[in-house]
Amino acid sequence: MIPTPKKILIVDDHAMFAETLGQYLRMMFKDFEITVVTSAEKAREQASRQSMDVVLLDLEMSDCSGLTLLADFSSAVPSPACIIVSMHLQALWIERALKAGACGYVAKDSPPSEIVNAINYALLGKKYLSRSVAQSFAENAVRLPMGGKELHKVLSDREFEIFLQLAHGKSLKIISLDLSLSAKTVSVHKHNIWKKTGINSVAKIARYCVEHGLLSGSGQAPLAA
């Protein structure tokens, strides 16, 4: 009986990066099935058709928060081993990703061998942090970023996701569609964010996120006062 090949799903809306990574992994894991998708919607469709063994996932995508998609995969039965491949190296991102169910975290600018190592560790049921991620995590965990208090740490995972969406200038309607929530629920979360952090405008949220390195260059945040 021929064994079923392991399946790896790459989820990243940077198409060139995703396709290049897919080609590399096909060379390194010749007996595996490697699938590349460039949106959370396509990732969910793919996962609904067949179970995956490993998912490589970016944290910021145009149609969904990577943390939301990570939580979806982690709650699936059976659940795949999820590895974050991201430019975000702040301790907060690493902590939240691991808490949401990630078994690995690799910096996007790491050598490709780091991703291979992460996959091999994941298939053995072990956790893996790439060298630069581990170093950044150790450094940032004991140092406050520019701007003083880390007000975002008081937020729940869902509130934090909406916090970032607001910082990118998205409307409540768009956020509700991205996160599959009702507009009323998003509005309640927004109110709780303002109450917990004291940051009471979208412009201030955007400025705070920029000052604390919570946004990548993939989105344009409204910085007007």
Q: Which domains, ranges and CATH numbers included, belong to the chain? A: 7-140 (3.40.50.2300), 151-211 (1.10.10.10)
Confidence of residue 59 (pLDDT cuts 50, 70, 90): confident
Distance CA 9, CA 180 (A): 22
- Strands 7-11 and 128-129, by their bridges, are unpaired
Confidence at residue 62, expressed as pLDDT on a 0 to 100 scale: 77
pTM over 0.75: no
Nearest to 161 by CA among 86, 83, 214: 214
Confidence at residue 140, expressed as pLDDT on a 0 to 100 scale: 63
Confidence at residue 124, expressed as pLDDT on a 0 to 100 scale: 95
**Cβ 209 vs Cβ 164: under 8 Å:** yes
Q: What is the mean pLDDT of residues 8-20?
A: 95
Confidence of residue 224 (pLDDT cuts 50, 70, 90): very low
Across 87-105, b (16+ Cβ under 10 Å) vs e yields ebbbbbbbebbbebbbbbb
Confidence at residue 178, expressed as pLDDT on a 0 to 100 scale: 79
**Cβ 81 vs Cβ 103: under 8 Å:** yes
